[in-house]
Amino acid sequence: MIGILGAGQLGRMLALAGIPLGEQFRFLDPDTNAPARQLGTQIQGAFDDDDSLQRLAAGCSVVTYEFENVPVAAAERLAATIPVYPPPAALRASQDRVDEKTFLNKQGIRTAPWVAVNSQADLVAAIAAIGAPGVLKTRRMGYDGKGQMVLRSVTEVEQAWKKLGGQPLIYEGFVSFDRELSCIGVRDRMGNVACYPLIENWHHEGILRLSIAPGPNWNDHLQQQAVANAKQVMATLDYVGVLTIEYFQCGKELVCNEMAPRVHNSGHWSIEGAVCSQFENHVRAITGLPLGATTVNGAAAMLNLIGDFPDLRRVLNTPGVHLHHYGKEPRPGRKIGHLTVVAPDHATLTARITELRQVTGLDKLPSWPM
């Protein structure tokens, strides 16, 4: 039995990958309608409730988590009696953007220049030190572009403070990147590491819309940098499981944006697009099984379904398309599923995605990377 903190779509897809390996799942989540509830038993409770945590762990061989805002203290308490993978130290390093960037820089990994901001005067000083434009972000709990604002000049300080002030913040230099990439790696209990090819990601309004693997114009030099960084971070944390590191590509350099100690939205294509998916590899890693191959079968992409479902008959009429429904009620801005598109090569993949854009309404977005 595997215990998972969180029963969202990531927990659901972990269970869908782990059940064929003979595993059973128990989830802890306060949500009454959690997407993973059909795939195991769910304990409905808070992540910091000791009794719920004990009930989650009872009889499990290992506990993992599907989101990085699990209270570190709760993960540490569990780790005293049962293996918790990835280790709680990975949560500690990734929950707060200042801790995260401090950790990454210490590993020799380049990030945007940054300064911690606790007052309006700090923000003025940060802009003087780093320059504008820059991005002001909350240190904790930001996701999908929430809790952040781009500042074009020091004249916008008051407006930014009104929006985000009163909580610990970070100001980062604006990176004018060529594209966004992510590296998904996995480390087993013996210390073996495997990484998927770099994935190109395209966001709109802060939300991931499209991932392509391998990223077009895939590049050995960038892949080597990304793999070296992943190995370094995972060795330092004595990591077990899947780790995602997100980057901006600036010419031949990778500038790290953030890391997530978990399976990631930009790796969902791997369910049908890779020899062994990120979900199966995470389950294999944490249960002490050998890792599966991270090779892509041809080329693959992932399109997020956000807000509402398109005409699924038309979607599934496109060759190479697979639907993943998360069992959630449609609601504006909500990730309710995704499509994987597989193809023998990038040209065929592009043609299939172009066809899908019209069917899914994504052709209405103002820009598109391909």
Binding-residue total with ligand AMP (CB under 6 A): 12
- Do 172 and 137 meet the contact criterion of CB atoms below 8 Å apart? yes
CA 131/CA 122 separation, integer angstroms: 13
* Shortest distance, position 145 Cβ to ligand AMP, whole Å: 5
CA 35/CA 118 separation, integer angstroms: 37
Taking each helix axis as running N to C, give the angle between helix 72-79 and helix 50-57, from 0 to 180 degrees, rounded to the nearest 10: 40
Q: Which is nearer to ligand AMP, 1 or 175 (CB)?
A: 175
Q: Which of 140, 189, 203, 328 binds ligand AMP (CB under 6 A)?
A: 203
Task: Report residue 70 as tokens.
Answer: 């699990």
Task: Report residue 60 as tokens.
Answer: 């499990």
* Shortest distance, position 252 Cβ to ligand AMP, whole Å: 18
Spatial CA neighbour of 239 closest among 96, 103, 111: 103
Q: Which of 244, 257, 277, 340 binds ligand AMP (CB under 6 A)?
A: 257
Beta bridge partners of 182: 199, 246
Q: Count of residues for the chain? A: 370
> Looking only at residues 112 through 141 of this chain, which bind ligand AMP when binding is defined by CB under 6 A?
112, 135
Q: Which stretch binds ligand AMP (CB under 6 A): 21-29, 101-109, 170-178, 186-194?
A: 170-178
Q: Which residue sits closest to ligand AMP, CB atoms considered?
A: 175
What DSSP letter does each residue of 2-24 carry, written as one string?
EEEE--SHHHHHHHHHHGGGT--
Q: Which is nearer to ligand AMP, 206 or 330 (CB)?
A: 206
Query: Does residue 96 bind ligand AMP (CB under 6 A)?
Result: no
Q: Which of 69, 154, 174, 189 binds ligand AMP (CB under 6 A)?
A: 174
The β-bridge relationship of strands 199-204 and 207-213 is: antiparallel
CA 344/CA 111 separation, integer angstroms: 35
Q: Which of 30, 71, 145, 165 binds ligand AMP (CB under 6 A)?
A: 145
The β-bridge relationship of strands 25-28 and 2-5 is: parallel
Q: Which is nearer to ligand AMP, 85 or 247 (CB)?
A: 247
Q: Which is nearer to ligand AMP, 3 or 173 (CB)?
A: 173
* Shortest distance, position 207 Cβ to ligand AMP, whole Å: 9
* Shortest distance, position 172 Cβ to ligand AMP, whole Å: 4
> Looking only at residues 47 through 66 of this chain, which bind ligand AMP when binding is defined by CB under 6 A?
none
* Shortest distance, position 66 Cβ to ligand AMP, whole Å: 18
Q: Which stretch binds ligand AMP (CB under 6 A): 58-66, 171-179, 337-345, 360-368?
A: 171-179
Amino acid at 247: Y
Query: Does residue 258 bind ligand AMP (CB under 6 A)?
Result: yes
H or E segment and range at residue 261: none
Query: Does residue 202 bind ligand AMP (CB under 6 A)?
Result: no
Residues 6 or more apart whose Cβ sits within 8 Å of residue 236: 107
Per-residue x/- mask for ligand AMP, residues 309 to 348, rule CB under 6 A? ----------------------------------------
Q: Which is nearer to ligand AMP, 154 or 207 (CB)?
A: 207
CA 229/CA 249 separation, integer angstroms: 14
* Shortest distance, position 286 Cβ to ligand AMP, whole Å: 25
Phi, psi of 233 (to 5 degrees): -65, -45
Q: How many CB atoms lie under 10 A from the CB of residue 335?
A: 18
Q: Which stretch binds ligand AMP (CB under 6 A): 8-16, 65-73, 74-82, 172-180?
A: 172-180
CA 303/CA 178 separation, integer angstroms: 21
Positions touching ligand AMP (CB under 6 A) are: 112, 135, 142, 145, 172, 174-175, 180, 203, 206, 257-258
